[in-house]
A and B are shown apart, each in its own frame.
Chain A
Amino acid sequence: MKRHLGFWLAAGWAAVLVLPWHIGGVWPVFWPAGPQNGPSAGDGMPALIQGLLLGRPWLLASVLPLLAALAGLWAKGRAKDGAKGEADERARSAWLTAAGGGGLGWLLVESLAVTQPGLGLGAAAYAVVCLVLGAHGLALRGWCKGDVFIVASIGLVLGSILVFVGFPVVTILLSAVQDNDGRLTVAGLFDKLTDSGIWGLGCVLGTGSTCGVAWNTLALAGVVGVLTTGTGLAFALIAVRTGFRFKAALRLASILPVITPPFVIGLAIILLFGRAGVVTDLLSTLFDIPRSRWIYGMPGVAMAQILAFTPISFLVLVGVLQGVSPTLEEASQTLRATPWITFRTVTLPLIRPGLANAFLISFIESLADFGNPLVLGGNFDVLSTKIFYAVVGAAHDQGRAAVLAIILLSFTLSAFLAQRRWLGRRSYATVAGKGDAGLPSPLPSGVRIAASAVAALWTALTVLVYGTILVGGFLKSLGRDNTLTLIHYQTAFGIETGPNGWWFSGSAWDSLFTTLGVSLVAMPLTAALGLLTAYLLVRQSFLGRGAFEFLTMLSFAIPGTVIGVSYILAFNTPPLELTGTGLILIIAFVFRNMPVGIRAGIATLSQIDKSLDEASLTLGARSFTTLRRVILPLLRPAIVTAMVYSFVRAITSVSAVIFLVTAKYNLATAYIVGRAEVGEYGLAIAYSSALIAIMVVALLAIQLLVGERRLGRRTAALPVSTSASKVNA
C-alpha cells in the first residue's frame, strides 16, 4: 500500500508541477517566460508556476493537500502492532482523508469562485489523485472493508457521474430560471413552464389550429406505445405459440433497430410515401388517389417509430410469454375452457405486467426519439425537435430549450420510475424450471389470424423500407428518376488520385473517420465504466449504495436531446470548457451508453456466485486482483456485449451529438441528417446503408471471434449461489 501511495503522491506533484493546469497557452515550449507575455499565453502552465509567476497565488494552495498526504505517508513508517500502531493508523487515515477532501474541496471552490480559463489535464489529474488519496484515508478507517480500490472506484464512478450527468442536469435546471442574459427570474419560470405553446389545447377545443408540443409528444408516445406493444405481441405469439418455421429470421430481424440509425426509417418512408414517393406514385397512377403530404406529421412519425421499436417490444414479450407455465393453460383446458377463454382469462392476465413493460419501453423510446420527428415531422412538433430548434434555430433561446428539456426529462423519468416501481418486481410469469413440461395451449383461431395479419403488414413495410434503403442509394433519385447510378456513393466516398497520391475526396469521409475514431475510443471506456459500476452495484455494499444506484439508473432515463442541450449549457464556459472538442463527443457517448454496460454487467454478474469473489479475497487477493483474475475472465460475454453495443450505439446516435458536432468534428449521423434536411435523399440513403453495412460487418466479426472462443473453451459450470448461506448470514 505504501508503494501505491507513493505513486499517487508522485502523480499529484506531477499534476501541479508538470502538467498544464488550464487549457490554452503553450506548454512546455513557453517555459520559462513570465507574465509579460500576457496571461492567456501562460494558461497552459502548471499550477505552481502560474501561482508563482502569473499572479494567481490561490493556485499555490494546491500543494497543501499534497503536503498533508506526505505527512500521512511519513506517519506510516512507525510501529506496526499494538495501541501505538493503531494510533499511527488513525493519524495516517486522518492526514490522508484531509488531503483528499481538502484537495477536492479546494479545487471545487477555486474553479467556481475564480474567473479563469477552462481546467486542463493538470487539474483533471489533480482531482483524480485527491480522490485516490482520500480513498486511502477512508479505507484505513475501515470503509468498504478497508479496500482502497473499492473506495476509489466508488469515488471515481460517483464523481464522474456527478460531473458529466448531474452537473449538466443541474445546469439545465438553473438556466430555466435565468433569462438569456443570465439574470435570475424565478417568477418567469412558472409562465415558461405553463406556456400555451407547450400545453395549449387549441386543436381539441377548437380555439386554435395546433396543440401544445407537450400534448403532441404524449399523444404520439401513447399511440406508438399501444401499437408497438400490439405488433410486438403479435410477433411474440407467432414465435412462441405457433409452429412458425422461420423463428431464426425473427431473431435476426430483432437486431435491425440496433444497427439502424434512428432516422433512416423516416428517410425511407419519405421516399416511399412522400408526395413523390414510390407508393404514392403507384396509388396515384393506378387508383387515381391524389398526392398529398399526409405522411409529414404524426402519421408518418408514428409509422416510422412503430417500425423501429416493434423488435424491442417483441424481445420483451417473447421472454414473458416463454415464462408462462404451460401447465397453467393445461389446467384451464382440463377445466373445460375453450382456447379463447383460456387465452382471455389465463394467458393475457399472466402477461399483463409484460405488456405494461413493453408499452412503457416503447413510450420512453418514442418520447426520446429525435431523428424521425426531425425528418418526418413537418409542422408537427414534438419536444425533442422543439428543443433542437430552440438551440440551433433563429431564436437561439437556451432558456426555452432548458424548459422544454425539463418537461421532456420529467416525462421520461416518470415513465421510467413507473416502469421500475410497478413492474420491477411484479411478475406472475414463472421461470420454467424442471418438472414444468407441458404443451402450451394452441392459439384461438381469431387471435392467430389477427396476429398473422399484423405481422404480415409489419414485415411487408419493413421489407419495403430496407429495400428502399438498399436500392435508393444506387438510383439517381428514387421515384423521380430511377436510373441506376453510383453518383451518390461517389460523392460520399470518392477516392481520387492527385499530385500528392491518393486522397479521400468524398464528402463523407471526414465525418465517417471522426465517427469511427470517436466510437472506437468511447467503446472501451464505456464498457469499463459500465462494468465497474455494475460490479460495485452487484458486489459491494456501502453507505449510500441506494442513492448511488438511483443516480446511475437515472442516466438510463435521460433522453439524448436533453443530454445534448445540457452539455452545451454546462460545458460551454470554464471551468469545464469542452464544447467544440472531440473530447466532448467521447464523453457524451460514454455517459449516454454506460447504461448498456451496466445492464450487461449486472445480468452476467448476478449469475456468478459471490463466494468466488470471497474465496479470492480470503486467499489474499485484493479486490483489484480478484476483479482482474477471477471476475473479468468470467465476465467476458458481458464485456463483448457492452463493447458491441456501445460501439454500435455511438455510430447510430444522433439526438445527443447533433448539438455537439462542429465543422471540425462532424459525425456521420449529423451529416446525414443535414443532407436529408436539404433534400439530398440519395446521398443520405447511400451513406446510411454504408453505415449499416459497416455495423453488420463489425457485428459479424465480433460474433465470429466470440463464437470461436466459446468453442475453444470448455463450458465450466458456475456454482449456483445457494440461498442458504444468505439466510444464515
Chain B
Amino acid sequence: MTHIRTLSPGTTTLEPAPAAARARPAVEFRSVVKRYGAFTAVHELNFSIEAGTLVTLLGPSGCGKTTTLRMIAGLEQASSGTILIGGENVTARSAAERDVSMVFQSYALFPHMTILDNVAYGLTVGGMAKRAALEAARDKLALVGLAGLEGRLPSELSGGQQQRVAVARAIVLEPRVLLFDEPLSNLDAKMRRQVREDIRQLQQSLKLTVVYVTHDQEEALAVSDRIIVMAGGRIAQDGTPRDLYQRPASRFIADFIGDANIVPALLEGRDGALGRVRVGMATLTLPHRDLADGPVELAVRPNAIRLTSDQDPSDGLLGRVHFAAYLGDHMEYEVAVALGGREVMLFARTPDVDAPLSVGDAVCVGFAPRGVTVVPP
C-alpha cells in the first residue's frame, strides 16, 4: 500500500491560487444564521478562514458544526447573513455553483460506477472531455495510492480505500476549499491515526484550504492549524490547538479539549501577568488571565495532579482514593476531596504503575504547575 506521505509534492498538478485570491480569506462568514422553523441551529456566526490552512470545526453533537460545513458547501442555505468564498458572495448559490468539494462521512461513492468513473464524475459533469477526465482521475487515484484498482466498484474496496477514493474524487476538481465531514468516523481505531496523518500530509503538500468537522478533540488537535470550537450554535473559542489546550476560554472548553477537573479556587493577588491562586491549603502561581480577584475556577488536567501518601496538606488537599484502575502504561484514580464544604471527585492519571495506591488510601493531592489554568467561573 502506498501512502500519501511517500509521494513528493512535485507530483501534484495543483497550481497555487492566484495572489489576489490568496490575499482574501478562502471562506468568510458574516453574521450567518441558520434556522429550522423555530429552532436556531446557528446564531450570528462570524469567522474567516485563511487560504492554505486546515481549520477544524469541533464540538459535541448538535452544536451546529455540520450545519456550518454544509452551509459552506451550499447544501444548506443560510437563513440570513453572507457567505463568501474567495471573496465572492455565494450565499444564494447552489452547491453545484460553488468552488468547493466535500468528503462525506459515508464517503457517498456512487455504487453503480467504478472508482475511476467516480473520480472522473466531477470533471465530466463540468464539461471536460471523457478521455482527459479519465486521465486526470487516474492521476489522482495514483496520488492516493490506489493505482491498479480503477475498475473496481466501491463495494469491492475496504473502508480505508473507499475513503481515499472519496478524497481523490474531491481533490480532482482542485477546489478552492475542501470540506471533510467526520471523515474518520467509519474507520477502526488503528486506521484513523493513519488516515488523519495522510489527510494532513496531503493538505500541506498541496497547500489545500481544508475545513474539517469532527467531534473528536484529539483528532482536532492532531490535524489542525486552527480550531473553531462550537457549542449551542455559537463559537465557544477560536484559536490554535495550543491556545485551546493551554488557555481555555471557559470551563466548557477546558473540559471539552482534553479532560479537566474543575476545581473552585480563590484569586488572591497579582504580580505582573501572574496571580496567586489559593486552592485548599496550597497556593499556586499562575497567569491570572485578567480575571478579577475573588472566586475563580481552576481547570486541572488529570496528569497535573500529584498524589502522595504523606500527610502534609501544605502543598494541596487531603483526600481518599475512591477508585483505581490499571491501564498498562498508567494508572487512573478517582480521589474524593473536601472542597468548599462538599465532596468533589478528582480524576487523576499517573505514570507510576509499580507502586499503585489502593482504594481507601488517604492521599495528599498536589498540583503540577503545568496543566493547571484559571478559567472564568
Q: Which residues does chain A contribute within 8 Å of B185, judged by CB atoms?
A: 724
Given contacts A142-B92, A716-B153, contact A619 B121 (CB under 8 A): yes
Candidates A86, A621, A718; contact of B96 at CB < 8 Å: A621
Give the distance to chain A from B86, nearest Cβ to Cβ, in Å. 11
Whether, in the assembled complex, B65 has its beta carbon less than 8 Å from a beta carbon of chain A, the answer is: yes
Contact A629 B106 (CB under 8 A): no
Contact A616 B61 (CB under 8 A): no
Contact A615 B108 (CB under 8 A): yes
Q: Which residue of B lies closest to A148 (CB)?
A: B94
Q: Chain B interface: which of A231-239, A400-408, A606-614, A649-657?
A: A606-614
Whether, in the assembled complex, B75 has its beta carbon less than 8 Å from a beta carbon of chain A, the answer is: yes
Give the distance to chain B from A92, nearest Cβ to Cβ, in Å. 12
Contact A727 B61 (CB under 8 A): yes
Give the distance to chain A from B191, nearest Cβ to Cβ, in Å. 17
Contact A629 B121 (CB under 8 A): yes
Q: Which residues does chain B contribute within 8 Å of A728, judged by CB atoms?
A: 61-62, 65-67, 215
Whether, in the assembled complex, A721 has its beta carbon less than 8 Å from a beta carbon of chain B, the answer is: yes
- Count of A-B contacts judged by CB separation below 8 Å: 131
How many residues on A have C-beta within 8 angstroms of the other chain's C-beta atoms?
Answer: 42
Whether, in the assembled complex, B125 has its beta carbon less than 8 Å from a beta carbon of chain A, the answer is: yes
Complex Cα distance A721/B186, Å?
Answer: 12
Complex Cα distance A89/B61, Å?
Answer: 37
Whether, in the assembled complex, A334 has its beta carbon less than 8 Å from a beta carbon of chain B, the answer is: no
Complex Cα distance A406/B155, Å?
Answer: 53
Whether, in the assembled complex, A625 has its beta carbon less than 8 Å from a beta carbon of chain B, the answer is: yes
Most buried by A among B75, B77, B122, B154: B75
Contact A619 B89 (CB under 8 A): no
Contact A617 B95 (CB under 8 A): yes
Complex Cα distance A634/B112, Å?
Answer: 7
Whether, in the assembled complex, B110 has its beta carbon less than 8 Å from a beta carbon of chain A, the answer is: yes
Q: Which residue of B lies closest to A713 (CB)?
A: B112
Q: Which residue of B lies closest to A726 (CB)?
A: B66
Whether, in the assembled complex, A618 has its beta carbon less than 8 Å from a beta carbon of chain B, the answer is: yes
Candidates A614, A714, A724; contact of B75 at CB < 8 Å: A614
Q: Which A residues, 692 to 729, have Cβ-Cβ distances below 8 Å to chain B?
A: 713-722, 724-725, 727-729
Whether, in the assembled complex, A633 has its beta carbon less than 8 Å from a beta carbon of chain B, the answer is: yes
Contact with B along A631-667 (1 / 0, CB 8 A): 0011000000000000000000000000000000000
Contact B74 A714 (CB under 8 A): no
Contact B111 A615 (CB under 8 A): no
Whether, in the assembled complex, B97 has its beta carbon less than 8 Å from a beta carbon of chain A, the answer is: yes
Whether, in the assembled complex, A81 has its beta carbon less than 8 Å from a beta carbon of chain B, the answer is: yes
Q: Which residues does chain A contribute within 8 Å of B138, judged by CB atoms?
A: none
Q: Which residues does chain A contribute within 8 Å of B89, judged by CB atoms?
A: 86
Whether, in the assembled complex, B224 has its beta carbon less than 8 Å from a beta carbon of chain A, the answer is: no
Contact A612 B108 (CB under 8 A): yes
Complex Cα distance A421/B74, Å?
Answer: 35
Q: Which residues does chain A contribute within 8 Å of B77, judged by CB atoms?
A: 142, 145
Contact B106 A722 (CB under 8 A): yes
Give the distance to chain B from A415, nearest Cβ to Cβ, in Å. 31
Q: Which residues does chain B contribute within 8 Å of A142, judged by CB atoms?
A: 77, 91-92
Q: Which residues does chain B contribute within 8 Å of A140, judged by CB atoms?
A: 92
Give the distance to chain A from B103, nearest Cβ to Cβ, in Å. 9
Contact B169 A619 (CB under 8 A): yes
Complex Cα distance A621/B98, Å?
Answer: 11
Complex Cα distance A714/B105, Å?
Answer: 24
Q: Which residue of A lies closest to B75 (CB)?
A: A614
Whether, in the assembled complex, B107 has its beta carbon less than 8 Å from a beta carbon of chain A, the answer is: yes
27 A-B pairs with C-beta separation under 8 A: A89-B92, A141-B92, A145-B94, A146-B94, A146-B97, A612-B110, A615-B104, A616-B110, A618-B74, A618-B102, A619-B169, A619-B170, A620-B96, A623-B94, A625-B125, A713-B112, A716-B153, A716-B155, A721-B106, A725-B66, A725-B105, A727-B62, A728-B65, A728-B66, A728-B215, A729-B70, A729-B76
Interface residues of B (CB under 8 A from A): 41, 61-62, 65-67, 70, 73-77, 88-89, 91-98, 100-102, 104-112, 121-122, 125-126, 153-156, 169-170, 173, 179, 181-182, 185, 215
